[in-house]
Chains A and B, each alone.
Chain A
Amino acid sequence: MVTAYRPDCLHEALRIREETGAIPLAGGTDLMVAKKRRAGISTGFNEPVVFIGGLTELRAVSMDGMLRIGSAVTFADLLADSVIPDIFKNVFLEIASPAVRNRATIGGNVCNASPAGDTLPLLYALDASVVLERVDGKRILPIDEFITGPGETRLQKKEILIEIRLPPADLNTFFYRKIGTRRGYSCSKASFFGSARLMEGRLEEVRMALGSVAPTVVRTKEAEKRLMGKKDRDLEILVPEVVAIYEKIITPIDDQRSTACYRKNVSLRLIRHFLNEHVLPEMRRQTKQ
């Protein structure tokens, strides 16, 4: 039997983490699958575990210039929270099933750092950062620096991810698509989150993030910059060029869920679809007004 701790407050959890390096467990929906053994046999954790899902310090959502989401807030609670924008809820509603959303937490999805993590394209596109606390202080990292590879993050043994922060963003067009075999439960074959600020028929800003097509979520500001400031005709001409940039940098793999070829094709189509079918028509509508 592994040593397990159930602290009453965050400070105690941080102390346990520093002294033992125990694995933080919130909802457990990923960890319990990773550590499962045969029916009736205890799970195969070989390090101490610290239960953090019940810590009230990690379960708050607030908006004070930026959106702050506690790491142990479940997706069900996020879906029910009036502070959370509908754009986020569209993403969260596609995660797993009601039963999983009742237990699974946003911090867990981030720390699990799966290339297919359902919250990650959204968080990358909206420039999220993570707050990592230890007994003697905290640090803040942008999400794309925090996640370094499949299942790998810069979380140190003594730290706990306590909060996800989203800065204000002036965006007015959003598009999200998760590609999977079925609606419930699917781990994504590919996913795409696109957003833009369109003003008077001009593309002022655009952000695009792709999941499941590389070791970490793909977002390239170089490609986004090429599109910024463009009007509809110029944008239309640029689309193939920008899609070609992504074609070079996305590196999907074959696995049990899908093939590299399918993933690449569908991801590039999603980029094209977002620009041609969402951004361009909206720009033209604005120009006509």
Chain B
Amino acid sequence: MKIRIVLNGKPAVIDTDPTRRLLDILRNDYNLTGVKEGCGEGECGACSVLIDGRIANSCIVPAGAVEGSEIITIEGYRETARYRALRDAFEEAGAVQCGFCTPGFIMAAEALLRENANPGEDDIRRALSGNLCRCTGYSMIIDAVKIASAGGKELW
């Protein structure tokens, strides 16, 4: 089946089994390996991408369900000023240790900030509740989102 998408700003036509996982297409067909596979069951958020501006777990999204959608991975997001604000904030807060979960957290933070530029701690915790980090204990990640939100007023 042919599936038309816009991937990181560029139109693409994928001719593939529509029950394949979006995660496999991104990693194996497009070499977008910033999209990580953690649990493979939609429970850890390492494979988070934006589909039409909303956070999704690409490991449980079948290709056939994204026809006509705009998909942004960490590789596409990396080119933006918003990414740089989040990266700096994650560095400042010490929100990265092994780094495996980080692309997913960055995408989840973006999904939050584009809806709510001034989130409270509760909003941040809810928005990140679908992402697991086994290193940081989360506090630094929450701090990072607060720093990005405070410092990036004109960005979101």
Chain A positions within 8 Å of B, measured between CB atoms, are 1-2, 4, 6, 25, 27-29, 32-33, 35-36, 39-40, 42-43, 45, 49, 51, 53-54, 76, 96-100, 102-103, 183-185
Contact = CB atoms under 8 A, between A and B. Distances in A.
Contacts of A2: 17, 19
Contacts of B42: 29, 32-33, 96, 99-100
A95 to B, nearest CB: 11
Given A51-B65, A99-B42, A99-B55, A42 B1 contact: no
A53 B18 contact: no
Given A36-B41, A39-B40, A45-B19, A185 B60 contact: no
A49 B64 contact: yes
B70 interface: no
A40 B19 contact: no
Interface of B: 1, 17-21, 24, 27-28, 37, 40-43, 45, 48, 51, 54-57, 59-62, 64-65, 67, 108, 111, 126-127, 129-131
Chain B interface, >50% SS class: mixed
B41 A33 contact: yes
Contacts of B60: 28-29, 32-33, 36, 100, 103
Given A6-B18, A49-B18, A49-B64, A39 B24 contact: yes
A27 B51 CA distance: 13
Contacts of B20: 42-43
B54 A76 contact: yes
17 contacts: A4-B1, A25-B65, A28-B65, A32-B59, A33-B60, A36-B59, A42-B19, A49-B62, A49-B64, A51-B62, A97-B43, A97-B129, A97-B131, A98-B130, A99-B56, A184-B130, A185-B130
A76 B115 CA distance: 13
Which of A27, A32, A99, A103: most chain B CB closer than 10 A? A99
B21 A4 contact: no
A49 B19 contact: yes
Given A4-B18, A36-B41, A28 B62 contact: yes
Which of B24, B56, B60: most chain A CB closer than 10 A? B60
A32 B17 contact: no
Contacts of B40: 36, 39
A6 B1 contact: yes
Given A51-B18, A102-B56, A183 B62 contact: no
A113 B9 CA distance: 39
Nearest to A29: B60
Contacts of A39: 24, 37, 40
Given A33-B42, A184-B129, A185-B43, A102 B18 contact: no
A98 B55 contact: yes
Which of B27, B59, B61, B127: most chain A CB closer than 10 A? B61
Contacts of B48: 99
B57 A99 contact: yes
A28 B23 CA distance: 14
Given A36-B40, A96-B130, A100-B57, A4 B108 contact: no
A103 B111 contact: no
A98 B127 contact: yes
A35 B17 CA distance: 14
Contacts of B108: 98-99
Contacts of A53: 65
